[in-house]
Amino acid sequence: MQIDANTMKTGLLGHPVGHSKSPEMLNAAYRREGLPFVYLAFDVAPGDLESAVTGLRVLGFKGWNVTIPHKVAIMDHLDDIEESARAIGAVNTVISEGGRLIGTNTDGAGYLRSLVSETGMDPVGQRVVLLGAGGAARAVGYALARAGVERITVANRTESRAEALASHLGRWTKTSGIGLSRVEDAIREASLLIQTTSVGMHPDSSACPVDPGCLHGELLVSDLVYHPRETRLLKEAHRRGARVHGGMGMLVHQGALAFQRWTGQTPPVATMWDALEESLKETES
């Protein structure tokens, strides 16, 4: 990749960002398509977010992704927020259009594309248990609610946060919010379990967010963690005859949607997937 004065700049704002695989994935996509773009990751402390946004604006960045802990706070520093991001309550992608910074959210749509393309599941009529009530849960819950699931039960360690997210999603489907002490009964009645927290992520890959005994063969278990690629939750689900869905696809498809908005071109999804997989193999070796 040749970088010169005409190179278009994109990137990632987060804190921390050292673990991110997005630079490998997006730069591989740019190379594959022969585009004069580069993707860089920037570690920005919460107190420096406004200055960082101003800097990227002045430097002429074409756009950037946003990750923890900035997905909500960045909304105060943009010129406009697209309706889907407003409904989710978080921004994960910024596009610069004519000097204006537009916030959108590709997490939910990226997750839905991954789920359908990798498992063939039709969201309509599914009974969903959503573990967690953070930004990822908001995006995934919104996408599934709009796609026609029958109901969503949000389960979180802090029950009031689960209830708040359930109330928010309740404008699109039936919902309830519960504490983790009641999650096992909900899982036994569910058809789709989605794990949106960091439990089971490297290096604590032996952790499991629920008692494996409540998993069953009529369930599809989806874990947004992608490092390791097969979490303990997925291993336990597989042992009990459940179908499983890992987190790599969501990362690829949300990045592909951002690529499309920044470049105006069809993203090379297979190339992005291969780059992510190769990067994870190097990390795990």
Cite the active site residues. 71
22 is in an annotated binding site: yes
282 is in an annotated binding site: no
157 is in an annotated binding site: yes
134 is in an annotated binding site: yes
d(CA 86, CA 84): 5
247 is in an annotated binding site: yes
254 is in an annotated binding site: yes
175 is in an annotated binding site: no
Give the 3-state secondary structure of residue 105: coil
Strands 100-104 and 151-156: unpaired
226 is in an annotated binding site: yes
d(CA 38, CA 3): 8
Beta bridge partners of 95: 63, 102
d(CA 139, CA 259): 19
C-beta separation of 266 from 260 below 8 A: yes
Beta bridge partners of 130: 154, 194
260 is in an annotated binding site: no
Helix intervals (H) in the chain:
22-33, 49-58, 83-88, 107-119, 135-147, 159-169, 183-188, 232-239, 248-263, 269-284
42, with CB counted inside 10 A (0-12, 13-18, 19+), is: middle
54 is in an annotated binding site: no
161 is in an annotated binding site: yes
67 is in an annotated binding site: yes
263 is in an annotated binding site: no
d(CA 68, CA 261): 21
Structure tokens at 190: 């569910």
198 is in an annotated binding site: no
d(CA 264, CA 259): 8
Q: Which of 142, 218, 133 is nearest to 173 (CA)?
A: 142
21 is in an annotated binding site: yes
**Per the annotation, where are the binding residues for shikimate?**
20-22, 67, 92, 107, 226, 254
**Per the annotation, where are the binding residues for NADP(+)?**
83, 132-136, 156-161, 224, 247
**Per the annotation, where are the binding residues?**
20-22, 67, 83, 92, 107, 132-136, 156-161, 224, 226, 247, 254
